[in-house]
Structure 1
């Protein structure tokens, strides 16, 4: 454990692109695919509860919940990624995130695990041309024989079509 912490400190202080890419990710399912988001952005994982709908909100924004006095917008990732109609069952969870100082939640089909990926396990986003929008994909993780789509959740939540995080004008 101490060796791992020492290695992490060395990795953090190195500051190279490769060392920064060795991260821990929370993996979750959407449809038949597995995705990952940086674990440092995750605040908590909750069961899918009643959500208060907001009039005139985009389809992918399911509504809001009151989380210990904080009003939290909830985004359904299956609708956002156009993966078909969302079905909610006992495995459906809400991942509460803290992104750019803003608390928000995402609805996913189920949470799988927390995994560490080294730089050698991470591949850049494939060039798929303009047919597929890969703007929010930070890369692909390889774990044994399967692939994990790594989401840049901060870039996604701060995009203009989401409107959940104010854009800073420099």
Structure 2
């Protein structure tokens, strides 16, 4: 900002003239996302108490979760389907290798966290996929969590059995 700013009106015109800065590692001209030295994109996914750290790179479509194959870690087909949803929706199934470190929560929460992380990593790798993944709800963190137990009650909402006499 080489112009001298003397009042708020000058500040407004100066800011309008200034071009917005692009995030680190991302150039506005080529439309490529953020990648590290190995060509991977990183993102964090969350669901309930589970946190998944996800790395995405071009490959054969292999998904590794905590150093194990996805079929071994997520034995139930429904959980594997949840994990693959963003790749299928983006039309990139079989094009990326995914490495995941997930901790906390149960298997269902971990599958949701991995799905959220894969979605965010795909957008970090290829920003054009945001238009496909956002309407499907893959980029939104699911806010539902276990309700806390209230004092004077056996569970969160359960009350003691009513006795007339």
Length-normalised TM-score, structure 1 = 0.27
Length-normalised TM-score, structure 2 = 0.27
Q: Which protein has greater RCO, CA pairs closer than 8 Å, 6+ apart?
A: 2
Query: Which structure has the larger Rg over C-alpha atoms?
Result: 2
